[in-house]
Amino acid sequence: MEVQIISDEEAIGRCAWCRNQISDDIEVFAVGAKVRPGADLSDYEGKAIQLMIVSEDRFIPMVVTTDVSEARNDGNDVMFLVCSELCGKEMKCALERDKSLGDVFEGIQLFRD
């Protein structure tokens, strides 16, 4: 997997799916995913990176969780911040399509923050 580190602002300041700006006064949602065994992201823990969604032919930002984070304790190796439940559902569908194409994700969940 080719990985590019990006700024935290790029990952959490805009919706990972539609890329609209996320302000402090709106409800946000998160999509969490577990990576398959053998997909090692340990060098990127706590960092924001770009992921290529092959089925959509586009990059999306994601945050790699740390060993001590609540997200990791809940079984999520990576998290995506989205601005709406609709964006979360669309992203989850795209990730599910890519899950069937490749070997990065083992499971994907949508959360309301």
pLDDT computed for residue 107 by the predictor:
58
Chain segment 50-99, per-residue pLDDT in tens: 988 887 888 999 999 999 999 999 999 999 999 999 999 999 888 888 77
Per-residue 3-state assignment (H helix, E strand, C coil) for 61-100: EEEECCCCCHHHHCCCCEEEEECCHHHHHHHHHHHHHHHH
Q: DSSP for 4-52?
A: EEE-HHHHHSB-TTT--B--TTS--EEEEEEEPTT---GGGTT-EEEEE
Cα of 31 vs its chain's centroid, Å: 6
**Domain of 58?**
4-112
Domains of the chain: total? 1
Answer yes or no: are the C-beta atoms of 18 and 87 closer than 8 Å: yes
